[in-house]
Amino acid sequence: METLFASCIGFLTSCGVFLMLRGRTFPVMMGLTMLSYAVNLFIFSSGRLTLRGAAVLGNSDNYADPLPQALVLTAIVIGFAMTAFLVILAIRARADLGNDHVDGKLPETGKGQR
């Protein structure tokens, strides 16, 4: 389970970083989303991977650490809000600047609008 989990996080992170280094706003946004998924899974794993652990203190002998679950919930909510804002900002940048390049102008000469 650990190997699967770790390679999953690694795959998401590398996809996220690759997409974030692209020049258009949409891939960058997707990259950030993937990175935040990877981060959320990673936070979750910081409480150790346990099977059938009770999250709330009860009579069980096997406890899952409840704190990372609370942390990851917070991180997910914040991530959603930020991504939503970024989508709106990217649409506005497309409207204001006339293209969807992250620098506000296309690198080719002649072709793109300024």
Partner 1 sequence: MWHLVVLPIILPMLTALLIILPPIHRRPSRRRWVSMISAGIQFIIAVVLLLQVQQHGLLHYAVGNWQAPFGIVLVADTLSVVMVCLTSFLALGAIIYGSAGEDEKGSFFHPLFQFQVMGINGAFLTGDLFNMFVFFEVLLIASYALLVHGGGKNKTKAALHYVVLNLTGSAVFLIALAVLYGTLGTLNMADMIGKVANIAPEDVMLVKAGGLMLMIVFALKAAILPLQFWLPAAYSSASPAVAALFAVMTKIGVYGLLRVYSTIFGEHAGPLAGIASVWLLPVGLITIVIGAIGVISSKDFRKIVAHLVLISVGTLVTLVSLQTPASASAVVFYTVHSTVVCAALFLIADLVANQRGKAGDRLVPGRRIAQPALLGTMFFIAVLSVTGIPPFSGFIGKLMVLQAVVEPMNKLLIWGVVLSCTLLVIIGLSRAGTTLFWRVSGTESDAEHVKPLQTVAVGWLLLASILLVVFAGPLTQLSQNAASELYDINSLTERVLGSPSFDMTPETLNLIPNITSNISTNTAIGGQ
Binding site for partner 1 (CB under 8 A): 20, 25, 28, 32, 35-36, 39-40, 42-43, 45-48, 50, 57, 63, 65, 67-68, 71, 74-75, 78, 81-82, 85-86, 89-90, 92-93, 96-97, 102-104
SS3 2: helix
**Residue 64, phi then psi, degrees to nearest 5:** -95, 145
Q: CA-to-CA distance for 74 and 84, rounded, in angstroms?
A: 16
Region of residue 110 (phi > 0: left; psi between -120 and 50: alpha; otherwise: beta): left
Q: CA-to-CA distance for 100 and 50, rounded, in angstroms?
A: 44
State the nearest-atom distance from the C-beta of 65 to partner 1, in Å: 6
Cβ distance to partner 1 smaller for residue 47 or 110? 47
Cβ distance to partner 1 smaller for residue 46 or 111? 46
State the nearest-atom distance from the C-beta of 108 to partner 1, in Å: 18
State the nearest-atom distance from the C-beta of 85 to partner 1, in Å: 6
